[in-house]
Amino acid sequence: MRATILHAPGDIRVEEWADPALERPTDAIVRVVAGCVCGSDLWPYRGANEVPEPRTIGHEAIGVVEAIGPDVARVRVGDFVIVPFDHCCGRCVHCLAGQTQGCVELAMTGSGQAELTRVTNADATCFVLDEAPAPEQQATVLALSDVLPTGYHAAVSAGVVPGSTAVVVGDGAVGLCGVLSAKRLGAERIIALSRNPERQRIATDFGATDLVAERGDDAVEAVRELTDGVGADAVLECVGTEQSMLTAFGAARPGATVGFVGVPHGVQIPWPTAFRGNIGLRGGMAPVVRYLPELVPAVLAGDLDASAVFDLELPLDDAAEAYRAMDERRAVKVLLRP
Amino acid sequence: MRATILHAPGDIRVEEWADPALERPTDAIVRVVAGCVCGSDLWPYRGANEVPEPRTIGHEAIGVVEAIGPDVARVRVGDFVIVPFDHCCGRCVHCLAGQTQGCVELAMTGSGQAELTRVTNADATCFVLDEAPAPEQQATVLALSDVLPTGYHAAVSAGVVPGSTAVVVGDGAVGLCGVLSAKRLGAERIIALSRNPERQRIATDFGATDLVAERGDDAVEAVRELTDGVGADAVLECVGTEQSMLTAFGAARPGATVGFVGVPHGVQIPWPTAFRGNIGLRGGMAPVVRYLPELVPAVLAGDLDASAVFDLELPLDDAAEAYRAMDERRAVKVLLRP
């Protein structure tokens, strides 16, 4: 197959690679119709993570089931499926408690930026659509494999409820999906932190009622002013840096929760603020399989559309350019078509 | 008045000191009937915090109202009161949301280990008892000024619910009150981490069903074995060190919450565990005023008795010995009588 291969930081190429095989009887192989680049793919691309040997990359995909193992009973060859980035068994104690990201057999999509990708525990993991989405609907459906449920997880974890005031730290694709999700959960006021006019526009389209262009302490001060000195009821932390975490805690009112979904890299909690304010922290990897039964119908009905985060679409062969565009912040998120 | 004065790390003496005065019209002065030493008092005693000049110390007290300011309407001279360590106004947006520890006028009891102490916003802060407790009842009532509501806050923050499995990290007075509180909240299984036979005995009396003497990774392993590999539904972190936080996260099952009440000193969150496990963190300073209407009746009825944490009782004049006994872990918690 043609696949995006990360050779070393900054060195990413589309080339021929071995097709993924059915390794376990519960596996399926999916022919990718659309994949995309995630902000977290930029970590190894930028050298923050080790790249010991060349490997496939990409964990977001939708496509058509090409092959199934002998123990796959629900998913059939030819089905159009959403592939959640975090695969789960659906039977263990953690899956049954809704903690599908804590599954004892947790695995990840490993070649979403390629022609084919392997899905473990396919019956529990794949979300089968009744029919293939039209090409113009594929972006909104693709968002369900990670970025939209991840933004939704930030909002759920932060405890957004109808009438609440939410702050969203981070104007990347996940942060923008956080805005959209806070809106869906009924937030009355959504304060988005962004200084980029294009992202501000998307945030506003997604439901942001206020935009704060300041950063750090000035952003905290701006949120305090917008909330009459009280702070936000819920804060979505969608970056994962020390600075974004400090801003998130600073913007929270006493008793509020910071919902985090960015993978924290060397982040220290501002303990005095958390301690006196009783500001909680909750989140992490999104349990995508848990959320899809709730989110897919809304997306298919057109009530929830995150496709605007894909502001660039390229053929798979141009994956290297997709990474460059996102690394240089020329694009929010790039959709790739094999 | 006679008061315990911290002069420098390790140098604590009981001596004559200026009586506290009514500084604001909403203040009251309370004549202390019983006070005690808190684990957090040991931080400055041990030199972990600065002691720029001699000062009074102690934030736990019960006693009789000696004087009130002109704007105090509910509390009267002669009332027997519990003095929550964190004073609050009862009227601000945070108090009205139950976040009394986040009060805009937050203040702390400053001379609980003395003959007299000042209480700010006395009407909102003081819990008035119908009658003075008998001497043998004073220890159980004194626990309501901080240590019991703080243990309770750990259990509430951790999300202990009927039937759940709770782990309590820390066998100090707060940890032991955490055990008692988890029991009160209906935990079916309470795993207490302790290697001290005397504290193990109190933990068992308070409701612990299992004792784990191991520490660190071995303690985590022991909890996993006791819970069939699942981990605990709720974890109470009652120490505040890096090691105790790591143990707490390690013992939590996916989706669980670590309820923390120890003031963290230089603690780093184990992010990969928190991220993949979706393990939340919540807690901090206990909103004592919020909890007292619920806890006081249970204590007065004898249904909730934390007095066993006071395993040493001394006259106020022996406060220095009280600190030594706690510093050397010869005593769990020392009650002081002026």
pLDDT in tens, A265-318: 779 899 999 999 999 999 999 999 999 999 999 999 999 999 999 999 999 999
Nearest to B276 among A102, A257, A282 (CB): A102
Interface test with A, best of B275, B279, B289 (most A CBs within 10 A): B275
- The confidence score (pLDDT) of residue B264 equals 84
- Cα gap A75→B338, rounded to integer Å: 75
With an 8 Å Cβ cutoff, are A255 and B98 in contact?
A: yes
Distance from CA of B38 to the nearest CA of A (A): 17
Strands A80-83 and A127-129: antiparallel
Using alpha carbons, select from A117, A85, A113 the residue that is nearest to residue A15. Answer: A113
Task: For chain B, give the mean pLDDT.
Answer: 97
CB B7 within 8 A of CB B51: yes
| Distinct helix (H) and strand (E) counts, chain B | 12, 18
- Cα gap A182→A200, rounded to integer Å: 16
Q: What is the mean pLDDT of residues B83-98?
A: 98
Specify burial of residue A313 (Cβ count, 10 A radius: 0-12, 13-18, 19+). Answer: middle
Indicate the pLDDT class of residue A151, thresholds 50, 70 and 90.
very high
**Cα distances (angstroms) measured from residue B66 to each of B57, B76, B81, B119, B122:** 20, 9, 11, 11, 12
DSSP B205-227: HHT-SEEE---HHHHHHHHHHHT
Give A88-112 pLDDT, tens digit per residue.
999 999 999 999 999 999 999 999 9
With an 8 Å Cβ cutoff, are B284 and A279 in contact?
A: yes
Residue B269 amino acid letter: I
**Cα distances (angstroms) measured from residue A172 to each of A75, A191, A194, B332:** 33, 15, 9, 50
Task: For chain A, give the mean pLDDT.
Answer: 97
At B210, give phi and psi (nearest 5°).
Answer: -140, 145
Q: What is the mean pLDDT of residues A212-216?
A: 95
What is the second-level CATH architecture of the domain A2-146+287-337? Alpha-Beta Complex (3.90)
With tokens 């509020």, the residue in question is A256
Distance from CA of B271 to the nearest CA of A (A): 7
With tokens 């609440």, the residue in question is A164
Give B219-276 pLDDT, tens digit per residue.
999 999 999 999 999 999 999 999 999 999 999 999 999 999 987 877 999 999 999 9
Nearest CA in chain B to A257: B282
Indicate the pLDDT class of residue A82, thresholds 50, 70 and 90.
very high
**Cα distances (angstroms) measured from residue B109 to each of A335, B84, B117, B120, B317:** 59, 8, 7, 8, 19
Q: Which residues contact A329 (CB under 8 A, 6 or more apart)?
A: A196
CB B126 within 8 A of CB B75: yes
Residue A318 amino acid letter: D
Give B248-260 pLDDT, tens digit per residue.
999 999 999 999 9
Residue B143: helix, strand or coil by DSSP? Answer: helix
Q: What is the mean pLDDT of residues B4-24?
A: 97
Here the tokens at position B128 are 């008035």
Specify burial of residue B244 (Cβ count, 10 A radius: 0-12, 13-18, 19+). Answer: buried
User: Within the 195-234 window of chain A, which residues sit less than 8 Å (CB to CB) from chain B?
Assistant: 230
Give B108-133 pLDDT, tens digit per residue.
999 999 999 999 999 999 999 999 99
Give A32-57 pLDDT, tens digit per residue.
999 999 999 999 999 988 889 999 99
Share of chain B above pLDDT 70, in %: 100
Chain A environment of B264 (Cβ under 8 Å): 269, 271, 275
Q: What's the CATH number of domain A148-283, 3.40.50.720, 3.30.1600.10, 3.40.47.10, 3.30.70.1230?
A: 3.40.50.720
CA A151, A155, A160: angle at the middle one, nearest 5? 160
- Cα gap B50→A262, rounded to integer Å: 36
With tokens 């360590």, the residue in question is B85
Q: What is the mean pLDDT of residues A168-172?
A: 97
- Cα gap B140→B62, rounded to integer Å: 11
With an 8 Å Cβ cutoff, are A98 and B278 in contact?
A: no
Is ipTM > 0.85 here? yes
Nearest to A278 among B254, B267, B283 (CB): B283
Residue A57: helix, strand or coil by DSSP? Answer: coil
Strands B28-36 and A280-283: unpaired
Domains of chain B: which residue ranges? 2-146+287-337, 148-283
Sign of the Cα torsion B46, B51, B55, B56 reads negative
Share of chain B above pLDDT 90, in %: 96
DSSP summary character for residue B136: G
The reply to whether B2-146+287-337 and B148-283 are identical in fold is no
What is the rounded (10 degree) CA torsion for A209, A215, A216, A219? -30
Residue B23 pLDDT exceeds 80: yes
Nearest CA in chain B to A284: B275
Nearest CA in chain B to A275: B284
- The confidence score (pLDDT) of residue A263 equals 77
Chain A environment of B254 (Cβ under 8 Å): 94, 97, 99, 101-102
Q: What is the mean pLDDT of residues B18-31?
A: 98
CB A187 within 8 A of CB A152: no
CA A269, A272, A278: angle at the middle one, nearest 5? 85
- Cα gap B273→B280, rounded to integer Å: 10
